[in-house]
Structure 1
Amino acid sequence: MDRAELAAFLRSRRERVTPADVGLPAGPRRRTPGLRREEVAQLAFISTEYYARLEQARAPHPSTEVLTGLARALRLSDAERAHLHQLAGAPPVARGPSREVRRSILDLIQRLPHAAATVISAGFDILAWNELAAALLEDFSAVPQRERNLVRRAFLGPHKDGQILYGVSDLDDFARHSAHRLRAAAARYPDDDGVRSLVDDLLAGSPRFRELWESHDVTDEPTLRKTFRHPVVGPITLNCDVLDIADRDQRVVIYTAEPGSPAEESLRLLSVIGTQRMVETL
């Protein structure tokens, strides 16, 4: 525990947060910027005396609960939260898979007009997609958020047109890969209700998932090509590349066609018809 650095960090973060940021009245007599010590203590559910001792580098080692309360009270980012735990000599506590996609990543996938791109959380939730991904897979905006999860769709459905997970050719590989990655995510986020609920539903509803889960494997091999059986344009074989967004524990999945291939023509057609089914005259 680095008491001096912890004290300086807490002071700097306290001075940055305004009363309005945390729903407190500003009051007339504030001689210093930011929150008062007693306000931080109140928001963190600790005593003012103990918080003052933390800022004076005189306090004993804070518990995980205290650090969690301080991070919440001071509106710390994920990076700041990890730094706080490091200064206090405590392992950082992961809150859960991030569902917030950076604006630059949202802009990136929209600037890929000839590729189908999605952003996936550590728990396999579809967080963002571009128009071509909606045409290739499905219109996720019309799907309840709970069902925008690839593992849930693969093992529990619903299966549109009798196809499991958009008719992908590597369904068995995906099943194994997703179960392994989900086990690793559950270990990283043991207190996340969403991940825990997803695992419980899969264990209760899918013997195949239960078998894969009980293997305790956490490794997988990437799939570089996939074939989708699309209900309108038929089979489409695409390259599959994955970009890791490490700070958010997210992945950008990009599907592209070989230049001059039938798949390229199919993607071009999908970009025209979008999520609407072609009429018989096409």
Structure 2
Amino acid sequence: MNRPELADFLHHARTRLDPADVGLAAGARRRTPGLRREEVASLAGMSADYYTRLEQSRGPRPSRQMLTAMARALRLTEDERDHLFHLAGEEPPRREVTSTHVRPGLLLVLDRLHDTPALVTTDYGEVLAQNALSRALSGDVLARPPRERNLLRRYFLDPSARDLFPPEDRPAHTRDHVANLRAVAAARPADPVLAALVAELLAGSEEFARLWADHEVAVRRATVKRFLHPAVGLLELDCEVLLNADTHQQLVVHTARPGTASHERLQLLRVVGLQDMTPSRS
């Protein structure tokens, strides 16, 4: 681990970012350019003291999970992320067909969507990034352990994950999840992550196994989804799915039609939901 070079790289990556670049308010006038250390730490899900020690060349060797979180918080490109791993004495993640590194430009789009819930996922349900309103709607997925960040795994293996949807809508959601995963798995039969996820769900969920045997295939596209939120009630939202074919990542955006009750409730969620009133869910 090259502590001085790592510290210098983190410092320069931090100072080149403006608060607006990561969805933060500028606040009072800043004496120095870039983000504050505590802001980077918050975005990466670590303590400010831990991050400060890294920038001061006296921190412990970061884990691979922590390096990935810092790369995302600092909006690093894939090349910059690999450099960060090398400085920490770690081998960078393999650049597989399905990338879990969200491009800085896509994160910038996500951060600018202040008034609508939006998140970035892989096409097999792994959550890679959320904006603030998405966390208010469905919980902070990235705060969970890594194995609990896949929406399909939680949906089929954790019964509480379905509480977010009205009971009458759940059968359709269930079939849609299975049909989409079958289409994705068939398109990339050599992807070990996909194969492992399918095998786990087949072994752990009789419902999934039964529906998988039906061989329904349907790629996830635009639809209307209803959410049951404990603070603001029922929300009927248009769901748009924008797929990046190169990385197999998708930007999922939920919008409410102006003039509807759901639009008013979504505006209310911006107020009450961002005060940590939403329980963690998928």
TM-score (norm 2): 0.59
2: CA distance, partners of 1:120 / 1:190: 19
Question: Structure 1 residues 221, 109: closer, same or farther in 2, change over 3 A?
Answer: closer
Deviations 1:80-137 (A, max 9, x none): xxxxxxxxxxxxxx94422111111111111111110011102211111100000001
Partner of 1:120: 121
Partner of 2:61: none
Question: Structure 1 residues 261, 277: closer, same or farther in 2, change over 3 A?
Answer: same
In the alignment, structure 1 segments of 5+ residues that lack a partner are 1-76, 78-93
TM-aligned CA deviation for residue 187 of structure 1: 2.8
Query: Counterpart amino acid of 2:252?
Result: V
Query: Counterpart amino acid of 1:111?
Result: R
Query: Counterpart amino acid of 1:180?
Result: A
Query: Counterpart amino acid of 1:132?
Result: L
TM-aligned CA deviation for residue 269 of structure 1: 1.9
The residue correspondences of 1:169-208 to structure 2 (distance < 5 A) are 170-208=169-207
Answer whether contact 2:127 2:142 (CA < 8 A) is retained. Answer: no
Deviations 1:39-67 (A, max 9, x none): xxxxxxxxxxxxxxxxxxxxxxxxxxxxx
Farther off after superposition, 107-116 or 220-229: 220-229
Question: Structure 1 residues 275, 122: closer, same or farther in 2, change over 3 A?
Answer: farther
The residue correspondences of 1:54-133 to structure 2 (distance < 5 A) are 95-133=96-134
Partner of 1:243: 242
Determine whether 1:155 maps to 2:156. Answer: yes
1: CA distance, partners of 2:126 / 2:163: 14
- Which secondary structure state, in structure 1, belongs to the residue aligned with residue 246 of structure 2? helix
- Which secondary structure state, in structure 2, belongs to the residue aligned with residue 242 of structure 1? strand
Partner of 1:43: none
1: CA distance, partners of 2:125 / 2:178: 10
CA RMSD, Structure 1 to Structure 2 (Å): 2.3
1: CA distance, partners of 2:160 / 2:100: 25
Question: Structure 1 residues 223, 211: closer, same or farther in 2, change over 3 A?
Answer: farther
TM-aligned CA deviation for residue 221 of structure 1: 6.6
TM-aligned CA deviation for residue 253 of structure 1: 0.9
Determine whether 1:265 maps to 2:264. Answer: yes
Answer whether contact 1:181 1:219 (CA < 8 A) is retained. Answer: yes
Of structures 1 and 2, the larger Rg is shown by: 1
Partner of 1:276: 276
Answer whether contact 2:116 2:254 (CA < 8 A) is retained. Answer: yes
Partner of 1:42: none
2: CA distance, partners of 1:234 / 1:214: 36
Answer whether contact 2:120 2:250 (CA < 8 A) is retained. Answer: yes
Partner of 1:213: 212
TM-aligned CA deviation for residue 275 of structure 1: 5.1
Determine whether 1:225 maps to 2:227. Answer: no
Answer whether contact 1:151 1:175 (CA < 8 A) is retained. Answer: no
Partner of 1:166: 164
TM-aligned CA deviation for residue 257 of structure 1: 0.9
2: CA distance, partners of 1:268 / 1:245: 29
Farther off after superposition, 226-235 or 165-174: 165-174
1: CA distance, partners of 2:98 / 2:211: 22
Answer whether contact 1:98 1:250 (CA < 8 A) is retained. Answer: yes
In the alignment, structure 2 segments of 5+ residues that lack a partner are 1-77, 79-94
Answer whether contact 1:183 1:216 (CA < 8 A) is retained. Answer: yes
Query: Counterpart amino acid of 1:107?
Result: L
- Which secondary structure state, in structure 2, belongs to the residue aligned with residue 127 of structure 1? strand
- Which secondary structure state, in structure 2, belongs to the residue aligned with residue 243 of structure 1? strand
Answer whether contact 2:117 2:254 (CA < 8 A) is retained. Answer: yes
Query: Counterpart amino acid of 2:254?
Result: Y
Partner of 1:71: none
Answer whether contact 2:129 2:142 (CA < 8 A) is retained. Answer: no
- Which secondary structure state, in structure 2, belongs to the residue aligned with residue 253 of structure 1? strand
- Which secondary structure state, in structure 2, belongs to the residue aligned with residue 170 of structure 1? helix
Deviations 1:145-200 (A, max 9, x none): 2111111122111515xxx1622563222222221221232233334332222111
Aligned sequence identity (%): 39
Number of corresponding residues:
183
Answer whether contact 1:166 1:229 (CA < 8 A) is retained. Answer: yes
Deviations 1:193-241 (A, max 9, x none): 3222211121012112111211223225745211100111111111111
Partner of 2:136: 135
